[in-house]
Amino acid sequence: MARLKILTFPDPRLRRVASPVKEFDKSLIKITENMLETMYGENGIGLAATQVDIHKRIVVMDLSEEKNNPKIFINPEFKVLDDKSLFSCEEGCLSIPGVREEITRPDKIKAYWQDIDGKNYEDEPEGLLAVCFQHEIDHLEGKLLVDYISPLKRDRIRKKALKSVI
Ligand code: GNR
Ligand code: NI
**Local confidence band at 152 (pLDDT 50, 70, 90 cut-offs):** very high
Query: What ligand 1 atom has the least distance to the C-alpha of 94?
Result: 14
* Percentage of the chain modeled with pLDDT above 70: 99
Number of H helices, E strands in the chain: 3, 5
Mean pLDDT computed over 93-103:
97
Pairing mode of beta strands 58-61, 71-92: antiparallel
Residue ranges per structural domain of the chain? 12-165
Distance CA 16, CA 28 (A): 19
Whether the pLDDT of residue 44 is over 80: the answer is yes
Query: Cis peptide leading into 12, omega within 30 of 0?
Result: no
Please tell me the CATH code under which domain 12-165 is placed: 3.90.45.10
**Local confidence band at 46 (pLDDT 50, 70, 90 cut-offs):** very high
Distance CA 110, CA 116 (A): 20
Distance CA 23, CA 149 (A): 37
Residue 74 amino acid letter: I
Q: Which residues surround ligand 2, an ion (CB under 5 A)?
A: 93
The tens digit of pLDDT for each residue in 107-136 reads: 999 999 999 999 999 999 999 999 999 999
Distance CA 80, CA 101 (A): 22
* CA-only gyration radius of the chain, Å: 16
User: Active-site positions?
Assistant: 136
Residue ID of nearest Cα to ligand 1 atom 14? 93
